[in-house]
Structure 1
Amino acid sequence: MTARIAFLASPTPEAEAARRRLEAEVGPCPPAEADVLVALGGDGFMLQTLHRHGQLGVPVYGMKLGSVGFLMNQYRPEGLLERLEQARPTVLRPLEMEAVTEGGATIGSLAYNEVSLLRQTRQAAHLRIRVNGQCKLPELVCDGVLVATPAGSTAYNYSAHGPILPLGTDVIALTPLAAFRPRRWRGALLRSDAEVGIEVLEPHKRPVSATADSHEVRDVVEVRIRESRHRTVTLLFDPEHDLADRILNEQFES
């Protein structure tokens, strides 16, 4: 294999040591000149890598050197070139978040896992939810609400008792966080091309923040969320570590 490989490491001694070892064996390469990126760390670092370098259009192969590694392959420095040759691609399409703050600023961000809205104080959030411009919930009283991609459905969404979505389905999950009213509402499955609009009711009294993966915007009054029509990223997985299979298996875990 003659591909140029850029090694990226999370700021931990273990990951940095692995990066130095691999660069000594394969050679260093800047991300902008690479044919493939190898991310060394956990899922959080993988998301950082996608946000920082996703615009390059370069596939990313992760190796787990962190506490959580759902988006990563097992760390084995031996035979890396052969593993990359045999790796299977998985294409992910992120969500686009557009948040409007109380101050009138409009802030955009991408989310590969989920966009979540959370109350900032002890008081419950009051939210109005629209889908494709149509009001579906005039008032949701809750700790918050999130919109998750299939790849992110096993993360925060699953912890909030949201559904696990198989990869390749054109569906996103809309999941409430500790819904108080309507108390029995458990969320919704939406087409991936749907636009979700969330309006914050009483934003001065009940402030709410919006977070796209790890990018937080505080004191929002309105948030619009939809699947990106232009941006995709490609993750590479070992054949025995296929992401679609692991998402399927999560549904049968006790």
Structure 2
Amino acid sequence: MTRSVLLVSNAQTEQQATVVERTAKKLLARGLHPLLESIELARISKLGVDLNGVGEFIDQSIEIGIVLGGDGSILRAAELLRNQEAPILGVNTGHVGFMAEAELDALASVMDRVAARDYEVGHRSALEVEVYQAGELAFSSWAMNEVTVEKSARERMLELVVEVDRRPLSSFGCDGVLVSTPTGSTAYAFSAGGPVVWPDVDALLVVPLSAHSLFARPLVLGSATHLAFEVLKRSPGNGVLWCDGRRTFDLGPGARIEVRQSDKQVRMVLLSDDPFTDRLVRKFNLPVTGWRGPEESK
């Protein structure tokens, strides 16, 4: 039985393309069949690397998705594998690569573990979003990191009302509002001033973006919460919905956006049981010099 592996990369240079080539050859040597999207296959081939033996991904059944890049490429892999059970393994070739499980210098040993199926699979929550206009469903999608409602024009403020579990909470003029999963709390939500939420916390995070209101603070809500946002008809500007910065939909006055936790999680490969705290320290280069630890551990 063919063991197909989806490779996801955003290789734009010969050096980046060489990483894809190296990974593909390591997979082939271990009896696995690497696949690339057609557009990526064509782009990387033009960079002069050898992709002999690499197939084209159409919609085949995949054993695992391997991402060679940063968090943006992981979001792309999650999109491609949304309707499959294949887990995603991130190998960081970028700068931070917060969601990546491995670094490039461990590529050979990581491929050994992939071939041996020597890994655990964890689950990350996702969001479902629906947009209603004039009472009719106009758009539906999902997100792994965050759903954002933002103003579509820089000079026009967006007026929204926030609803929690079918009850109005507050309204304000703003640049927008963001709903994040714990995974997304270290992405856009973090940049917007939201708290870091540990991935084992089952919660939703709401972060207003430059809101003109005293009660425009980040909120941490239960995972069963049903959120909604309405673009007020008096709003001076229109809005735009973004899902993970990848899927988008235009919002007019009166649009209603409903967001809830998805029943379908994203499967992620785990290679170690290192605590999330250590990842934060490592990825953000946090100062911990002088820490002595609890006395009982000495």
Q: Please state if 1:74 is matched with 2:103.
A: yes
Higher relative contact order (CA 8 A, sep 6+): 1
Segment drifting more, 204-213 vs 170-179: 204-213
How far does residue 101 in structure 1 lie from its aligned partner after superposition? 4.6
The residue type equivalent to 1:143 in the other structure is D
Residue deviations 1:177-199, cap 9 Å, x none? 11112x34312111111110100
> Does residue 7 of the first structure (1) align with residue 12 of the second (2)?
no
- Tell me what 2:71 maps to: 43
Q: CA deviation at 1:42?
A: 1.2
Checking the alignment, whether the CA contact within 8 Å between 2:173 and 2:212 is kept in structure 1 is yes
- Given residue 186 of structure 2, which amino acid in structure 1 is its aligned partner? T
Moved more, 3-12 or 90-99: 3-12
1:219 is aligned to 2:248: no
The aligned counterpart of 1:238 is 271
- The 2-side partners of 1:120 and 1:162 are apart by 22
The 8 Å contact of residues 194 and 226 in structure 1, kept in 2 or not, is answered as yes
Report the 3-state secondary structure (helix = DSSP H, G, I; strand = E; otherwise coil) of the residue aligned with 2:81: helix
Q: Does 6-15 or 243-252 show the bigger shift?
A: 243-252
Does structure 2 retain, via aligned residues, the 8 Å contact 1:119–1:208?
yes
How do 1:59-208 and structure 2 match up within 5 A? 59-72=87-100, 73-76=102-105, 77-84=107-114, 85-101=117-133, 106-121=138-153, 122-137=155-170, 139-181=171-213, 183-202=214-233, 205-208=236-239
Residue type of the partner of 2:225?
Answer: A
Deviates more, 1:154-163 or 1:25-34: 25-34
Aligned pair count reads: 250
From the superposition, tell whether residues 123 and 179 of structure 1 become closer, same or farther in structure 2 (CA, over 3 Å): same
Aligned position for 2:296: none
TM-score normalized by structure 1? 0.87
Rate the CA distance shift 1:44–1:252 in 2: closer, same or farther, 3 A.
closer
Q: Distance in 2 between matches of 1:145 and 1:118?
A: 7
Preserved contact between residue 90 and residue 235 of structure 1 (Cα < 8 Å): yes
CA-to-aligned-CA distance 1:196-233 (integer Å, 9 cap, x gap): 0100013663211111102111124111000002x122
For the residues of structure 2 that align with 1:80 and 1:132, how far apart are their CA atoms?
44
Mark the structure with the bigger radius of gyration.
Answer: 2
SS at match of 1:145: strand
Looking at structure 2, the residues matched to 103 and 166 of structure 1 have their Cα atoms a distance apart, in angstroms, of 37
Q: By how many angstroms is 1:82 displaced?
A: 3.4
CA shift digits 1:77-110 (9 cap, x unpaired): 2222334355443211210111235796611111
Distance 1:102 1:45, change over 3 A: farther
Query: Does 2:57 match 1:56?
Result: no
In the superposition, the TM-score normalised over structure 2's length comes to 0.75
Q: CA 1:78/1:111 → structure 2, altered by over 3 Å: closer, same or farther?
A: same
Distance (Å, rounded) in 1 between the aligned partners of 2:90 and 2:247:
21
